[in-house]
Amino acid sequence: MTLNRNNIAERYGKNAGFYLIGIGGCGMSSLAHILLDCGYSVVGSDIQESIYTEQLEQRGVTVFKGHSAGALTSFNPDIVIYSSAISKSANPEYQEAERLGKLLYKRGYFLAEFTRSLNSVCVAGMHGKTTTSAMLAYAFEQLKHSLGHSIGWYVPQLGRHGRLNTDLLKSDGVKDKFFTIEVDESDGTFTLFSPAHSIILNIDCEHMDYFGDFERLKGDFAKFIGNTAGYVVYCADNEELVSLVGNNSRAISYGFSESSRYRPVNYKFNPESGWDFEVVKNGNSIGRFKLQLLGLHNVLNAVAVITMLDLLGFKATQIAEAISSFKGAARRQEELYNDGFIRIFDDYGHHPAEIRATINALKPLINNRLLVVFQPHRFTRTRDLLAQFGTCFEGASKVWVMDIYGAGEEPIPGVTGELIVNELRKNGFDAMFEPAEDAVAESVLKELKVGDVALFCGAGTNVTRAANKLADKLKSKVYHIDIKEKSGFIQAGKAG
């Protein structure tokens, strides 16, 4: 049965009850907020607490700790939605819902159906889609043209990462309002969406645990392009994407490539204020823009947003004002500590391309050394991209590697964080294996010197906890840096 907002209301009314298995996941919690905005009853479960479960509990949602058949039965929901991270054969709540004959939907499928009638702009790609979709959603809000959003991560300036402005659905002005969706390619569900418009940032050899081979991945992106009714904004710097788009008359390119229709030029970075750049369209300037985010790759993400907004009819001056105050999503080059002597950053990047881009973004801020802590994400990715992990930390003076965050994958014999350490050492890096978050925070603390930047990166929870523990120690002054060293640093004009 196909479900959307209308037939749910017809069949169950506002009293429809939803049970979300894995409600604490970023995508699942985003959907929960949207269902709450529609007036539905929502209950869920997850194995751990997080900022996402806390936000939902503040809105009155009951979140069961762990998964049990009894929890689901006690709520007796009309519809059960499950995360792609759960094992259907092993999860007791899924099994109970199936036994009771409940309507069961994977998150991506349900969101695609639920938002089908909305004027949606979907953002896809292997790298940068959270930042780009968050920036687009934020811009629509600033421009007063937001119908809502579903973003795959917490974005402080949006308040919550899932929202549906239901009052606008009843108004005549809804046609020029837009709903922003960060779609997920990792389980193939992005092919179920039917966007009014889409942004495709890049295609890379990722999620091979699902796709199996690169040709199947490209086939799914081709399907997603075909499902888009209007503009397909794509990056011309990505050769695979260019060949995939082909001669599609609805496809509009952006990028650093001179063949791009929209292109950033005359860009400059100021460590205090961020990026200042100009965008040309078909060789003619449309205006100058400012961006507070680090990294040239984020200039590219901003140009994707600018391109889409320009195509939708917004003036360049309006767009420039809308994106100038955007500060990014949590854990995207998020600065946890800066006392003028030492800076600590936390970043979600877990693919070699993302790590390399983040390190390049931080280079203008480094006055001494870059120290990196990395937690690998998934056993399959560690195994398949081992050689790339051995080279992507270029610019780091020292690298600590934690143990792998499996994200629901079964361990692969012999595949551990030590594999990456060995690969790094083979390539001349100073690297060490330190699996425990307390130990790695303490090790970095002992290593820190004036002018250092420490970067903690990875999709796992351990690495971000380690980053915050180090930042807390520094804020509490539980460290010692020689006063002469500080004095010399200030005299050199490197502390602000």
SS3 call for 107 = helix
pLDDT at 154: 85
258 with 295, same domain: the answer is: yes
Number of structural domains found in the chain: 3
pLDDT 10s digits, 361-388: 888 888 899 999 999 988 988 998 999 9
The answer to whether residue 298 scores a pLDDT higher than 80 is: yes
- Same-domain status, 243 and 380: no
In this structure, the answer to whether residues 38 and 173 fall within a common structural domain is no
Residue 411, CA distances (Å) to 84, 359, 406 in order: 18, 29, 7
Confidence bin at 332 (pLDDT 50/70/90): confident
144 burial (CB, 10 Å; 0-12 / 13-18 / 19+) is: exposed
List beta partners, residue 322: none
The residue out of 49, 83, 111 marking a domain boundary is 111
Confidence at 488, pLDDT banded by 50, 70, 90: very low
| C-beta atoms surrounding 357 within 10 Å | 23
Quick one: pLDDT band at residue 112, thresholds 50, 70, 90?
very high
Does the pLDDT value for residue 183 go beyond 70?
Answer: yes
What whole-number percentage of the chain has pLDDT above 70? 91
Using DSSP's 3-state secondary structure scheme, residue 259 falls into coil
Per-residue pLDDT band at 443 (split at 50, 70, 90): very high
pTM of this structure: 0.80
Residues 378, 255 share a domain? no
Same domain, 382 and 470: yes
**Residue closest to 447 by CA, chosen among 395, 398, 402, 396:** 398
- With cut-offs at 50, 70 and 90, classify the pLDDT of residue 2: low
Do the domain assignments include residue 496?
Answer: no
| 355: pLDDT strictly greater than 90 | yes
CA distances from 353 to 79, 201, 205 (A): 39, 13, 11
**Which is more confidently placed, 452 or 166?**
452
Residues 412 and 304 in one domain: no
Q: What's the rounded Cα separation, in Å, for the pair 296 and 264?
A: 10
pLDDT at 489: 47
User: What pLDDT sits at residue 403?
Assistant: 92
- Cα dihedral across residues 188, 181, 107, 384: positive or negative: positive
Q: Per-residue pLDDT for 55 more than 60?
A: yes
Categorize the per-residue pLDDT at 487 as very low, low, confident or very high, splitting at 50, 70 and 90.
Answer: very low
Supply the pLDDT for residue 492: 45
Question: For the residues 26-53, what does the mean pLDDT come to?
Answer: 92
Q: How far apart are CA 171 and CA 130, in angstroms?
A: 29
User: What does the alpha-carbon distance between residue 55 and residue 395 come to, in Å, rounded to a whole number?
Assistant: 38
Identify the band that residue 270 occupies on the pLDDT scale cut at 50, 70 and 90.
confident
pLDDT reported for residue 480 = 52
Mean pLDDT of the region 23-50: 93
pLDDT, mean over the chain = 89
Q: What is the pLDDT of residues 231-240, one digit of tens each?
A: 999 999 999 8
User: How far is residue 398's CA from residue 436's CA, in Å, rounded to a whole number?
Assistant: 17
Is the confidence at residue 110, as pLDDT, over 80? Answer: yes
In the predicted structure, residue 62 carries a pLDDT above the cut 70: yes
Q: What is the pLDDT of residue 331?
A: 75
Residue 208 has pLDDT above 70, yes or no: no
What confidence category does residue 176 fall into, taking pLDDT thresholds of 50, 70 and 90?
confident
In the predicted structure, residue 399 carries a pLDDT above the cut 90: yes
Domain span including residue 11 = 5-111
Q: How confident is the model at residue 50 (pLDDT cuts 50, 70, 90)?
A: confident
**Amino acid occupying residue 411:** P
In a domain, 329, yes or no: no
298 and 369 co-located in one domain: no
The pLDDT assigned to 13 comes to 65
One domain for residues 184 and 277: yes
Query: How wide is the angle at C-alpha 460 spanned by C-alphas 154 and 454, nearest 5°?
Result: 90
- What's the confidence (pLDDT) of residue 481? 56
Output DSSP code: residue 411.
P
Spatial separation of the C-alpha atoms in residues 286 and 27, rounded to whole Å: 35
Mean pLDDT on 111-130: 91
pLDDT of 196 over the 50 cut: yes
Indicate whether 123 and 103 sit together in one domain: no
Segment 201-227 mean pLDDT: 81
What CATH number is associated with residue 35?
3.40.50.720
User: What pLDDT, on a 0 to 100 scale, did the predictor assign at position 48?
Assistant: 85
With a cut of 80, say whether residue 169 has pLDDT above it. no
Q: What is the mean pLDDT of residues 207-227?
A: 81
The stretch 29-40 carries a mean pLDDT of 94
- Co-location of 228 and 96 in the same domain: no
For residue 312, the domain's CATH number is 3.40.1190.10
